[in-house]
Amino acid sequence: MRLFILLITFSFTSWSLELKVGDILLQPLHCYACNLIEAQTQSEYSHIGVVIKKEEGNVFVAEAFGKVKVVSFKKFNQKTQKGLKIEVLRPRYVNHEIYTTYLNYFDSKPYDSNFLWSDEKIYCSELVQKLFVKLSMTAPKEKPMTFDINRELWDKFFRGNTPEGHLGISPVDFKNSNLYIELGFYEN
């Protein structure tokens, strides 16, 4: 039993994780909208990215933050809220055309701070979901969004145009899905 507990403990430490292409990175951030997202979804995760390339010991992450772009894992990790961790999920199947598909369909699109489901602007969890769908990888399905926790703050954030009932997806939808293997955490 002690050996089992020891093995479990070591499997969830950050130093033992080797990121692979396709890994989903759930990230807690500290910002006004992030706090609203975390409260609404009852999760500590307000951001998500996906590993799309490994090259010469470097790991690259696609994210929608400011705009849709690729950053190094180091740069992605630096945004993690102090004292919290990135959680890593792994798809059971990865289409290795992920980098090319990202470049062809999503790179440099503007960020969608209104969280609307469209192809013109993209927000973080929408990027990961749409990329996976385009690659025939498993992804949670979009669903009607609710903004009932801190409604007055959401209305202020959206300037009265809160997208209540519009289709969307959040980082916690990936976390709560049974589609992925939970690998563990990276500490900041």
pLDDT of amino acid 151: 95
User: What pTM does this model have?
Assistant: 0.90
As a whole number, mean pLDDT of residues 72-87 equals 95
Read off φ and ψ for residue 78, nearest 5 degrees. -65, -20
Q: Which residues neighbour 74 within 8 Å (Cβ) at sequence distance 6 or greater?
A: none
pLDDT of amino acid 14: 42
CATH superfamily of 19-187: endopeptidase domain like (from Nostoc punctiforme) (3.90.1720.10)
Domain ranges of the chain: 19-187
Which three-class secondary structure state does DSSP give residue 36? helix
For residue range 85-124, list pLDDT tens digits in order: 999 999 999 999 999 999 999 999 999 999 999 999 999 9
pLDDT of amino acid 186: 81
**Is the pLDDT reported for residue 3 higher than 80?**
no
**Is the pLDDT reported for residue 52 higher than 80?**
yes
Q: Which amino acid is at 47?
A: H
Higher-confidence residue of 111 and 17: namely 111
Banded model confidence at residue 57, pLDDT cuts 50, 70, 90: confident
* Exposure string over 28-65, b if 16+ CB within 10 A, otherwise e: bbeeeebebbbebbebbbbbbbbbbbbeeeebbbbbbb
For residue range 18-50, list pLDDT tens digits in order: 999 999 999 999 999 999 999 999 999 999 999
**Is the pLDDT reported for residue 53 higher than 90?**
yes
User: Dihedral of CA 44/63/86/79: which sign?
Assistant: negative
Q: Which of 4-13, 32-41, 71-80, 86-95 has the lowest mean pLDDT?
A: 4-13
Own/partner long-range contacts of 161-167 (Cβ < 8 Å, ≥24 apart) = 161/114, 163/114, 163/115, 163/116, 166/115, 166/116, 166/117, 167/117, 167/142, 167/143
